[in-house]
């Protein structure tokens, strides 16, 4: 029994000794890096981004002009730019739903109405306080613009209007554009464009025209 224990101890001793020797050597190497031997305590450092660097020329290296931040690949040009093949689009990159328009209304009234007014005539409270009045969405010029135009203006800004790209997500910008189109239609709807069940409620063509005119006037007065 004692002989067996002695044999096992003799077998393990060399391995145990090598382990501790290896551990000691690694410790010495690591400690050397933190002492004057390796001089890592006093190695040269760049305190400012544009300090001169022997290796790179400057501490702050130039970014690759083709580098794209994580999460900003944005291959869908229709969704993210409002253009396809360099041309402004006149279609939406997602299905147009009632919920989307209602969300667009909420966002429009929070971000856009202070300048453009609740009905889009450019008579918001900011304009009434003496600032430059924005163009009416109901002008012939803006009614003829494709939806990509409105998306692009929200994204990049135009004139005195600054960019909302950092404030409004791309999908929400499209929701606002959908509501702008809804406002435009609300002020210029024709009897022929209405569903049949609504046409019947108006009765005669003259009554329908008068009713539509009255509706447009009421919508235009919501800012008063």
Confidence of residue 190 (pLDDT cuts 50, 70, 90): confident
Exposed, middle or buried, 148 (CB in 10 Å: 0-12/13-18/19+)? buried
Mean pLDDT of 82-87: 96
Rounded Cα distance between 209 and 191, Å, is: 7
* pLDDT value of position 81: 97
Lowest-confidence region among 68-82, 106-120, 155-169, 184-198: 184-198
The pTM score is 0.64
pLDDT beyond 90 at 214? no
- For position 34, what pLDDT does the model report? 62
User: What is the C-alpha separation between 154 and 145, in angstroms, rounded?
Assistant: 14
What is the reported pLDDT for 175? 98
Rounded to the nearest integer, the mean pLDDT of the chain is 82
**Is the model's pLDDT at 12 over the cut of 80?**
no
Q: Please compute the mean of the pLDDT values over residues 118-132 and round it to a whole number.
A: 92
Long-range contact set of residues 90-94: C-beta below 8 Å, sequence gap at least 24: 90/146, 90/147, 90/148, 91/147, 92/147, 92/174, 92/177, 92/178, 93/174, 94/171, 94/174
Average pLDDT for 37-64: 71
Q: Which two tokens stand for residue 142?
A: 């803006």
Confidence of residue 52 (pLDDT cuts 50, 70, 90): confident
Highest mean pLDDT, choosing among 22-31, 47-56, 195-204, 205-214: 22-31
Contact 180, 159 (CB under 8 A): no
Share of residues in the chain with pLDDT > 70 (%): 76
pLDDT of residue 11: 46
Does 30 have pLDDT greater than 50?
Answer: yes
Phi and psi based region of residue 85 (left: phi greater than 0; alpha: psi -120 to 50; beta: remaining) = left
DSSP state of 148: H
Which residues make beta-bridge pairs with 57? 53
Q: Are 116 and 184 in contact (CB under 8 A)?
A: no
Name the band, by pLDDT with cuts 50, 70 and 90, for residue 141: very high
Q: What is the pLDDT of residue 108?
A: 98
E strands in the chain: 52-53, 57-58, 83-84, 87-88
């Amino acid at each position: 029994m004692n002989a067996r224990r002695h044999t096992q101890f003799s077998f393990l001793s060399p391995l145990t000794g090598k382990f501790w020797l290896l551990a000691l050597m690694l410790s010495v190497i690591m400690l050397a890096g933190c002492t004057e031997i390796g001089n890592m305590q006093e190695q040269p450092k760049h305190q400012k981004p544009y300090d001169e660097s022997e290796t790179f020329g400057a501490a702050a290296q130039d970014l690759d002009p083709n580098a794209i931040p994580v999460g900003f690949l944005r291959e869908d040009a229709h969704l993210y730019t409002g253009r396809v093949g360099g041309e402004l689009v006149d279609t939406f990159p997602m299905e147009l739903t009632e919920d989307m328009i209602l969300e667009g209304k909420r966002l429009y009234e929070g971000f856009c109405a202070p300048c453009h007014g609740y009905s889009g005539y450019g008579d918001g409270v900011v304009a009434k306080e003496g600032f430059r009045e924005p163009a009416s969405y109901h002008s012939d010029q803006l009614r003829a613009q494709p939806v990509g135009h409105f998306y692009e203006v929200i994204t990049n800004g135009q004139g005195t209007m600054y960019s909302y790209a950092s404030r409004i997500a791309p999908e929400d910008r499209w929701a606002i554009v959908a509501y702008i189109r809804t406002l435009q239609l609300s002020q210029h709807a024709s009897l022929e464009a209405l569903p049949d069940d609504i046409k019947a409620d108006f009765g005669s063509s003259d009554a329908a025209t008068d009713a539509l005119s009255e509706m447009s006037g009421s919508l235009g007065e919501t800012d008063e």
